[in-house]
Structure 1
């Protein structure tokens, strides 16, 4: 996977917990969808904020494995979670795991969905379609038949900035990529500034598929769309 959040990792928690995500809402929605499923895989665990919220809500009932390919993020996740979650440095494109998981989810990790002007887009940090197919097939191989794949739904990506604690300012800028690497490819720049000085900058690329195209791709890799949750925060697929 090309994207890494190494440059932003020092400020990641500050950004994410100051209004970027409502972790409580996502965690409650996840738990309602997981029901009695216990062995769960998080795709793109980051610094462990989703895991931490899930464990606060459900105690030790979940057995979570979190994978990420950014070591600096995993270092923070290990400090936050200790031995409550199994954390693995892993690129989903290279993942080889037997079908041991009852469910998988991603909240802005490897895959997520975006609502934009009445349309739903399937967004991926994997830029090449061959990698996309390989990663989804790897994930299907890691899930038991009937297991749900739960993808967070976000609001449309827009340029904006907002203040952070400590006199910092967060800003993001999104544009279509100039390189013809893949169709529907975008570049997202994250900035943390203090007094107009950039103290951290991260550039990531993502690919946005129209939902009908994404559903066909997922079906080819062993997943069928089930539903969007009533609150609109998750799209659920099932491992066939």
Structure 2
């Protein structure tokens, strides 16, 4: 996978903490599903915002490993988390993780759920179905049988703008092709001048296609609480 957040990394925390995600809500929902399980993997740890809340609110026995393919984001995560988590540069297409995790989760990371009313999709940073099958199969190999994969739920991608601290303006533009491939441009502006721009691409798989894909990779759907979808490793 390309270094997908390199250009936005300097402003990432400003955008994400300005109302983009409710990190406490995600952390509480994750902890309810984690329960007494201790070995947890975060897919796409980013700058460590979710991990930080999870470690602050969770039990001291929680052992968290966070992976990301973006060096600049990992550098910020290491600064934020210190020695509270194990952080590794990993690409899901070529992971080298032990088969030791009780649970893995992704909050807007490699995979997540997009929901619009009664319709839902699996959103992925991987554009090709065969790459998603490879990545999910690698993930299944890292999760113990009976363990869980938790995917965050968010609304559909739409054009939006938001004022950030320091007088900055964040805008996002979205284009969608007939096959569900999204091109999303993020802009940070300072007094009308663009100071950062990032282009990302996503692939949305319809629910039926997504369930078949996950089943082939060793997961079956277990339920949703509206914040997270849970798949169980067979």
Q: TM-score range by the shorter chain?
A: over 0.9
In the other structure, the counterpart of 1:133 is: 133
In the other structure, the counterpart of 1:224 is: 220
Q: 2:185 aligns with which of 180, 185, 189?
A: 189
Q: Deviations over 1:27-48 (max 9, x none)?
A: 0000001111100000000000
Instruction: Say whether 1:53 aligns with 2:47.
Output: no
Q: Deviations over 1:151-205 (max 9, x none)?
A: 0000121101010110001111110249xxxx32110111111122111100000
The two structures, once aligned, show a CA RMSD in angstroms of: 1.1
In the other structure, the counterpart of 2:227 is: 233
Instruction: Say whether 1:206 aligns with 2:202.
Output: yes
Kindly indicate whether the alpha-carbon contact (under 8 Å) linking 1:146 and 1:238 is maintained by their aligned counterparts in 2. Answer: yes
Q: Deviations over 1:47-78 (max 9, x none)?
A: 00000000110142210000000000000000
Query: Following the alignment from structure 1 to structure 2, what is the Cα–Cα distance between the partners of residues 119 and 198?
Result: 35
1:107-186, aligned counterparts within 5 Å?
Answer: 107-177=107-177, 183-186=179-182
Kindly indicate whether the alpha-carbon contact (under 8 Å) linking 1:43 and 1:67 is maintained by their aligned counterparts in 2. Answer: yes
Instruction: Say whether 1:28 aligns with 2:28.
Output: yes
Q: How far is 1:128 from its partner? A: 1.4
- TM-score by length of structure 2 reads 0.97
- TM-score by length of structure 1 reads 0.95
SS in structure 2 of the partner of residue 147 of structure 1:
strand
SS in structure 2 of the partner of residue 4 of structure 1:
coil
Q: How far is 1:131 from its partner? A: 1.0
Aligned length: 234
